[in-house]
Amino acid sequence: MSTEPSTDYPTIRLLPKAEARAIRHGFPWVYCDELVMDRRTKALAPGTLAVLEDAERRPLGLAAVNPLSRIVARVIDRDPEAVVDQAWFAARIGAALALRERLYDAPFYRLAHAEADGLPGVVIDRFGAAAVVQPNAAWAESRLEALVAALVEVTGVETVVKNGSGRVRGLEGLPEETLMLQGALEGPVPVPMNGATYMADLTGGQKTGLFYDQRPNHAFAAGLAKGGRVLDVFSHVGGFALAALAAGAESALAVDGSEPALALAEAGAEASGLAGRFATRKGDAFDTLAALGAEGAQFELVVCDPPAFAPSKSALDAGLRAYERVARLAAGLVAPGGYLVLCSCSHAADLAKFRAASARGIGKAGRRGQILYTGFAGPDHPVLPHLAESGYLKALAFRLTE
């Protein structure tokens, strides 16, 4: 556990061209081309804490440094003399917990949403008495013992899983690994949400095991599904499908390329008492959408919630074409007067670009529609106003009028 004495912090300094005002106003990142990368700074070990100074050597705060990353520094405290120990983590987690306990009646939510909760690069999802921690930045990885001790102290969780997977850890030079840090699990964890029960695999599933961010969008889409047939594409563990069935949909078909995810969806349907109206279909989403179209299948509600097709600016054009293709294939499956819900978790594709790509796809399918709803991640995924990346999720609900 690393807790550098405040008097011994090294210093790092912005280049004159860097925008110190943005840092002062709350932007938390410093890119490698904005910092003086002298020999001393390059020699700092990933995760080292340092006092960040502007070009005139005025302190801006305490930052975590990783010379291996394009985001070379992350501001973690406005106090340049802060001591990052278990008490520091407990204060941050306690503030995050107070918000979630005001928002939710049961302890199933995203507890810490990285920069937006003052814990840059750290994601914590809570599943009742268990929690999954994603330390996606070197500074958190090197202080994981203090972080987990604070998490247990503040929340009382009995089981803690470290999920060290994903693209972001690779960018930080961190290895991929999933570890049981405390307690034990006997199998998937049942999660009550929107009237259904979802089964979350905390050690072998995608991300932390469940996508809490879609909770309000699940609820809105479910309201459109009453009495109708539902198609949930890229369904993972049945997010939209199970919520729709719980709200009174006639039937739901979940499509995903992962057999384990569909098995969890089936287990969730069984636990929810919905298995008789629920079916799954394993396959590539694009191929399955095309096949359903060839079969003449029709649904009153079609939902497509794909992975990030545009995870970076360099992938934006290809990602937008993929979103357009999804919209085109899905629109043809919507029954007259039915509804189409399209989602994107690509922060590089902003709402306007995603909406335009979706509209083009619907138009190319020979359909027309109206937007009823624009959704985002739930309030347990707060957005840092200065950091667009923290507001990544978009959902659009269309009523197809022709």
Q: Is the dihedral of CA 348, 202, 219, 298 positive or negative?
A: positive
The span from the CA of 187 to the CA of 389, in Å, is 33
Give this prediction's pTM: 0.94
The predicted-structure confidence for 317-340, as pLDDT tens digits, reads as follows 999 999 999 999 999 999 999 999
Residues 228-232 have a mean pLDDT of 98
Strand order in the sheet with 334-344: 278-282, 251-256, 229-233, 299-304, 334-344, 394-400, 369-375
pLDDT band at 101 (very low <50, low <70, confident <90, very high): very high
β-bridge partners, 64: 49, 74
pLDDT at residue 208, as a whole number: 84
Q: How many CA within 13 A on the CB side of residue 118?
A: 17
Residue 65: band (very low, low, confident or very high) from pLDDT cuts 50, 70, 90: very high
Neighbours of 352 (CB within 10 A): 9
pLDDT-derived band at 197 (thresholds 50, 70, 90) equals very high
Give the pLDDT confidence of 250-287 residue by residue, as tens digits.
999 999 999 999 999 999 999 999 999 999 999 999 99
**Residues recognised as catalytic:** 345
Write out the H or E segment, with its range, that includes residue 50: strand 48-53
For the chain, what are the domain ranges? Answer: 6-77, 86-182, 189-400
Architecture of the 189-400 domain: 3-Layer(aba) Sandwich (3.40)
Render pLDDT for 136-181 as a digit per residue (tens, 0 to 9). Answer: 999 999 999 999 999 999 999 999 999 988 888 888 889 999 999 9
pLDDT band at 7 (very low <50, low <70, confident <90, very high): low
d(CA 351, CA 384): 17
* Closest to 349 in 3D by CA, of 380, 375, 322, 327: 322
- What percent of the chain is predicted at pLDDT more than 70? 98
**Options 3.30.830.10, 3.30.750.80, 3.40.50.300, 4.10.490.10; CATH of 86-182:** 3.30.750.80
The pLDDT of residue 4 is 47
Stretch 227-253: mean pLDDT: 97
With cut-offs at 50, 70 and 90, classify the pLDDT of residue 5.
Answer: very low
In Å, what is the CA distance from 158 to each residue of 127, 148, 182, 204, 288?
Answer: 11, 11, 7, 19, 41
Q: pLDDT by residue (tens digit) across 362-374?
A: 999 999 999 999 9
Lowest average pLDDT, out of 16-20, 118-122, 145-149, goes to 16-20
pLDDT mean over 221-233: 97
- Residues present in the chain in total: 402
Residue 206 has pLDDT above 80, yes or no: no
Percent above pLDDT 90 for the chain: 89
Q: Which CATH class is domain 6-77?
A: mainly beta
**What does the pLDDT read at residue 1?**
40
For residues 330 and 304, the answer to whether their CB atoms sit within 8 Å is yes
What is the model's pLDDT at position 328? 98
Mean pLDDT of the chain: 94
Backbone phi, psi, residue 370, to 5°: -130, 145
